[in-house]
Amino acid sequence: MKKIILLALGVCCLISTLQAQKLPPFWQDIVAFKKQDSLQLPQQKAILFVGSSSFTKWKDINTYFPEYPIINRGFGGSTLVDLIRYAYDIILPYQPKQVVIYCGENDLASPDSISATEVLNRVKTLFAIIRTNLPNATISYVSIKPSPVRASIQGKVLAANVLIKAFLKKQKNTAFIDVYQPMLDANGQMREELYVSDRLHMQPAGYAIWQKIIAPYLVK
């Protein structure tokens, strides 16, 4: 009997493991957002910040923009593929009047890294989903930032920023928000003091720069 019980427990653990392996990346983050929304639904027609960990770690974002209704749905080390996957879960349901996006850096830096052109194609796909379903929403893209730990891919980062800016310039009710250049020093070098020890995520000083640059683009 003891062997049967142990075998049954082993099978249950195996099934649970297999089920967990089938879950798409960051699914638990999305579930947490849904649970949070079920307890208190954010107001509609707000400004939605969505993207990767630079937004995730901006925990006190509302204090930077106190005059605006902000919803922050940054999650993990997400890529544009993840934002596309979950657009119907954490973008469209809020019916935001503005969507502010920070994503693409992880796409370029991932082990199976891609080209700047592919990042542009992913931005176009995400843009099409948002524009089709939220035709009146303002779509604002925050440029990929200069992260010291990722110095080796800055050529691709700059190329992607140029391509995305050119694409958005041709679209209505959009903006490309350049944070790259303002985060460099007078000699055009990356400023280590703006980052925490991982040289990727930002100190409050980095977010202060973002606040100053992003604020004029927010919709009242």
Q: Give the CATH number for residue 56.
A: 3.40.50.1110
20 in a domain, yes or no? no
Q: What is the pLDDT of residues 30-65, one digit of tens each?
A: 999 999 999 998 988 999 999 999 999 999 999 999
68 in a domain, yes or no? yes
Q: Return the amino acid letter for 94.
A: Y
Q: What is the pLDDT of residues 195-214, one digit of tens each?
A: 999 999 999 999 999 999 99
pTM score: 0.89
Element (H, E) at 138: strand 138-142
Six-digit token pair at 215?
A: 């604020």
- Domain containing 113: what range? 28-217
SS3 105: helix
184 in a domain, yes or no? yes
162 in a domain, yes or no? yes
14 in a domain, yes or no? no
211 in a domain, yes or no? yes
Q: Count structural domains, the chain.
A: 1
167 in a domain, yes or no? yes
Asked whether 146 and 210 are in contact (CB, 8 A), the reply is no
Half-sphere exposure of 92 (CA within 13 A, CB side): 17
Helices (H), the chain: 2-22, 27-39, 53-56, 61-64, 80-85, 87-90, 105-109, 116-133, 154-169, 204-214
